[in-house]
Structure 1
Amino acid sequence: MAIPNYTCLKLKMSGPCGIITLDTSFQRTYECEVECNEHVAAIVTSKELAAIREEIVDEVPDPRGDVESQKRPLYGNEWVNGYDPVIKALAQGLDIHLNHRITKIIQRYNKVIICVEDVASFVADAAIITVPLGVLKANIIEFEPELPREKLSAIADLGVGIENKIALKFNTVFWPNVEVLGRIAPTSNACGYFLNLHKATGNPVLVCMVAGRFAYEMEKLSDEESVNFVMSQLRKMLPQATEPVQYLVSRWGSDPNSLGSYSCDLVGKPADLYERFCAPVGNLFFAGEAACIDHSGSVHGAYSSAIAAAEDCRRRLSTQLGISDLFQVGKIIVREEITVREKSIH
C-alpha cells in the first residue's frame, strides 16, 4: 500500500543515532487501515482469484529450515515474492503479448486499431488503456483522432510523483527489529527511510525509499553511487552497518515504460480530474491507479479501476452487438491480429 500523504515522522528510539519510524495519529491510522484492509480483502477473496489461489504456491525456502513449510500458499503477510505471484495468477489463461511498444491507437466507431513498433497491429471492438499516466503525459502514444479536450486537460493537470527503491541485501542483520528506520536531517536530500524486510520475510534486506526531488537527483547517479550514498546515510544511524552483498536500484522516473511512480494532486487544479481521466471515450476505456478516484497511487486502486473499466466495456459491447452476455470480466475477447508490411495503417 502506498504511504498516505498524512503520514508524519514520530520518534521511536531516542539516542545519538536518531533512529525513528513512520507513524501518524492513532485515529487516522485506524481509519486508513480499516478502509484499505476492507478493500484489499474484497479483492483477495474475489471469484477471479479464488479459483486459482490454491494453485499458486510460494517456493521461497522457509528461514526456519522446515522442509514441509517451504511451499506455502500466498496468504496475507506470507507474500514475500513481491507482486510477481499476483501477476502470474491473474495472467493465467490470457493471451498476453509482451515486448510490444504501442505507438498509435486508431479509434473508429466500432473498431480500435493498436499499432506497435514492429508493424504488427491488433484490431478489437474496444480497448482498455492502462499505460502509466507519465507515458500519456509525454505523448509517446498518438491517438487518432485526438482525445477530447476534457481528457487531455485531465492528463495534463494530474501530477506524477516519483518514489524509487534501493534494495540492499546483507550477510547479517545489524539493525533493530522494527518495521521502518528513518532519519531526520536538515535537508530533504539527507532524509529518507528504510523498510526492514527481515521482519516480514526473514531475509537480511533493507529497502531505502527515496521520493520527491531527492528521487529525481538520485536517478542521475549510477547504481554504485546511489548505494554508496544511502549507505553513508545508514551509517549515520547505525555506525556498525556492513557493506551490502547485493543491491537493486529502481528508476521509475526515467524508465520509458513508466515515466513516474504514481499520480498525485497538484495545488490549484480542479477537483474532478480523476473522474475525467477515467471517463471512457467511445470504445476506449481507461484504467490504472490514476483512474481510481478513491484509491489512486495504489496497486489495489489500479486493480479495482481495471475491473470497473472491464465491466463498462462489457456493457457497451453487449449493447453494441446486441448480445446480453458477451463475455465475463476476467475472460478475454478474441482479437484479430493483422500484420501490415511496408506501409502504415491510416
Structure 2
Amino acid sequence: MSTEVDVVIVGAGAAGLAAAIELQSTNLKFLVLEARNRIGGRVCTDEETFTRAKVDLGASWIHYYGPENVLYDYYVSFNCGKKQPRHSGYRICFDYDGEYFSSETKFHARSICAKLYQHIELFTCKNKNKEDQSIEQVIQTEYERLVPNGPIKRLVNLMLSGEEEYEGSNFENLSAKYYGLEDGSSCDKWVSCGYENLLKFIVKKHNLSIQLNTFVTHINTIDSDRIAIKTSNDSSIIYCRRVIITIPLGCLKRETILFEPPLPDWKRNAINQMGMGLMNKLIVQFSTSFWDSDMCSFLHACNKQRGRFRHTICSHAPENILILFVTGNFARELEALTDSEILEEIMKFLRQIFPTQSISEPVKYKFTRWGQDTLAYGSYSNIAVHASPDTMKQLAKETSDGHVHWAGEHANANDGTENWSFGCVHSAFQSGQRAAKTVRSQLCSS
C-alpha cells in the first residue's frame, strides 16, 4: 500500500509549519510528517513539571521583534503581549563569590573588551580573501597582553562569554572572519505565553494537518519525478513530486535520513562546515525565593571556567523558579552527568554566590539535553571556523534537479534585506516560506 501526494514536508517545526501555510494557497496535495509526538521541534513548552509555570525548554525569545518579523502578527493576535511577563526588574552582575564588581573594575573590563572586539573586526576587514581563524586564535595574544589577573580578568571573561552564549559555542569553534555577520541591534521579546503555544496557535489558525510520530528514515530520488519516502513506523511508501526537508542541522550531520542516491558532495560539505551550537536550560523551582524579588536575572563571573553558569533568569513568586543557561563546552560536560550530579553542581554554585542565604533543596527541577536529543543533536546553528554565508546558501540550495528543497534556521540564505537572520525561530519560518514558494512556482506555473 502506498500514498501519493504532490509535496511532503519533513518536520513540523517553524520551517515546516511555514511551508505548509504557504502551500495552503495552492491546489497541491501535501503531507507534513513529524517524528515527535508534538509540533515545534526545538520549540518546546513544559506546562506540567513546574507548579503555576509554563517553561520553555528550547527557544524563549522572538529575536528581532517588530512589525517586520514574520511572527509579529501571530504574537499580537495571540494576545501574548497582554499575558503576565515571567520576569521584570533589574539585573545584577556577581563575582565568583557573590561580591559586586567595583566601578573601576567595570570600566577597565569594558575598555579591554572593546579593544579585543576591535581586534576581531580588524582581522575581519583585513582577511576577507584569506584563511579563516577561530575567534580564540585571533584574540589570544591580545588577551594575554591586555588582561591582568584578578577581578578584571573574571569580568572580561564574563563579558566575552556573552558572545559565546548567544552563539551556543566557544570561541575556539567560531569564525573570526565572519564575526558580526548579523550586525545590528536586536529587540528580543520573551514569549511569556510559551513559545510552543504560539506555534500551536498558528497551527490552529491555519487548520494545519500534521502527521505526528512519523520518523522519516529513507528518501529515494533515483526517479526524481516520483520521490519515494519511507518511515520507521510504516511499511508503506509515500510518493511525491517534491519534498521539503526541515530537520535540524544536527540531524543532517548525524545522517538520520538515508538518501538514495547520496547527497552531492557540495551539500554534504556545507552540512559538515556549518556550526551547531548547544544551549541547555537547568530549571530549578524552590518553595520560596531566596533572591531579591526585584531581580529579573543575574550574571556570574567564574574563577574556574569562562562562561560557567554565566546567566540565570529569575522568576518571581509564586513560581520561585531559576533558569540557568549553559552553553558550548560546559553544556556538553554537564550532559555527561546524571541529574543528581548536575543538581549538586547547581546548589554549590548558588550557595557560593548567595553565601548569607539558607538555601534549601529545590522542590522540582528539569534539565534539558539538546545535544543528546536524537531529533535535534544540538540547539541552533552558527558560523563555525571555515564556514561562511555561502555555506548557508549551499544548505538552502535545492538538490535532485530542484526536486528536493531545504529549509530550517540553518538554511535561511541571506536575501540582502534588513530583516534577514539565521539561527532563530523566525529565521526557520522565513526559510520554510521561501522553499514552499519555490515549490509552488515549479508545480503551479501556468
Output the TM-score relative to the length of structure 2: 0.55
- Two-structure CA RMSD over aligned residues (Å): 3.1
> Can you list the C-alpha shifts for 1:318-345, whole angstroms capped at 9, x where unaligned?
13xx4xxxxxxxxxxxxxxxxxxxxxxx
Matches of 1:111 and 1:123 in 2, distance apart? 6
Question: What SS does the corresponding residue of 1:89 show, helix, strand or coil?
Answer: helix
* Matching of residue 84 in structure 1 with residue 181 in structure 2: no
Q: Give the count of matched residue pairs.
A: 270
Give the 3 Å change call, closer, same or farther, for CA 292–82 of structure 1 in structure 2. same
Bigger drift between 243-252 and 303-312 goes to: 303-312
Aligned-residue offset at 1:314: 1.2
> Can you list the C-alpha shifts for 1:193-215, whole angstroms capped at 9, x where unaligned?
3432425x962111111111111
Matches within 5 A, 1:91-102: 91-92=203-204, 93-102=207-216
Contact kept in structure 2, 1:158 and 1:266, CA below 8 Å: yes
Alignment-derived partner of residue 380 in structure 2:
262
Question: What SS does the corresponding residue of 2:71 show, helix, strand or coil?
Answer: helix
Give the 3 Å change call, closer, same or farther, for CA 316–178 of structure 1 in structure 2. farther
Matches within 5 A, 1:223-238: 223-238=339-354
* Matching of residue 103 in structure 1 with residue 103 in structure 2: no
Matches of 2:62 and 2:424 in 1, distance apart? 15
Contact kept in structure 1, 2:220 and 2:260, CA below 8 Å: yes
* Matching of residue 211 in structure 1 with residue 327 in structure 2: yes
What residue identity is the alignment partner of 1:166? L
Matches within 5 A, 1:49-128: 53=78, 79-92=191-204, 93-107=207-221, 108-118=223-233, 119-128=235-244
Matches of 2:407 and 2:284 in 1, distance apart? 33
Question: What SS does the corresponding residue of 1:232 show, helix, strand or coil?
Answer: helix
* Matching of residue 180 in structure 1 with residue 297 in structure 2: yes
Output the TM-score relative to the length of structure 1: 0.70
Question: What SS does the corresponding residue of 1:266 show, helix, strand or coil?
Answer: coil
Alignment-derived partner of residue 158 in structure 2:
none
Contact kept in structure 2, 1:180 and 1:193, CA below 8 Å: no
Aligned-residue offset at 1:292: 1.8
What residue identity is the alignment partner of 1:43? L
Matches of 1:256 and 1:78 in 2, distance apart? 27
List runs of 5+ in structure 1 lacking aligned partners. Answer: 1-32, 64-75, 323-346
> Can you list the C-alpha shifts for 1:79-127, whole angstroms capped at 9, x where unaligned?
4342221221222222211111111112233233221112243222212
What residue identity is the alignment partner of 1:134? G
Question: Of 425, 437, 442, which aligns to 1:299?
Answer: 425
Aligned-residue offset at 1:57: 11
Contact kept in structure 1, 2:273 and 2:387, CA below 8 Å: yes
> Can you list the C-alpha shifts for 1:155-188, whole angstroms capped at 9, x where unaligned?
0111111111111111222223333212111332
Contact kept in structure 1, 2:313 and 2:324, CA below 8 Å: no
Alignment-derived partner of residue 253 in structure 1:
371
Bigger drift between 301-310 and 81-90 goes to: 81-90
Matches of 1:276 and 1:77 in 2, distance apart? 30
* Matching of residue 133 in structure 1 with residue 249 in structure 2: yes
* Matching of residue 287 in structure 1 with residue 407 in structure 2: yes
Give the 3 Å change call, closer, same or farther, for CA 165–259 of structure 1 in structure 2. same
Bigger drift between 207-216 and 268-277 goes to: 268-277
Alignment-derived partner of residue 73 in structure 2:
45
Matches of 1:41 and 1:270 in 2, distance apart? 24
Give the 3 Å change call, closer, same or farther, for CA 59–266 of structure 1 in structure 2. closer
Aligned-residue offset at 1:260: 0.8
> Can you list the C-alpha shifts for 1:245-275, whole angstroms capped at 9, x where unaligned?
1111111111111111111112233441011
* Matching of residue 273 in structure 1 with residue 391 in structure 2: yes
Greater RCO (Cα-Cα under 8 Å, separation 6 or more): 2
Matches of 1:156 and 1:234 in 2, distance apart? 38
List runs of 5+ in structure 2 lacking aligned partners. Answer: 1-60, 88-187, 414-419
Alignment-derived partner of residue 173 in structure 2:
none
Matches of 1:207 and 1:40 in 2, distance apart? 30
Question: Of 220, 245, 261, which aligns to 1:145?
Answer: 261
What residue identity is the alignment partner of 2:72? V
Contact kept in structure 2, 1:197 and 1:203, CA below 8 Å: no
Contact kept in structure 1, 2:277 and 2:381, CA below 8 Å: yes
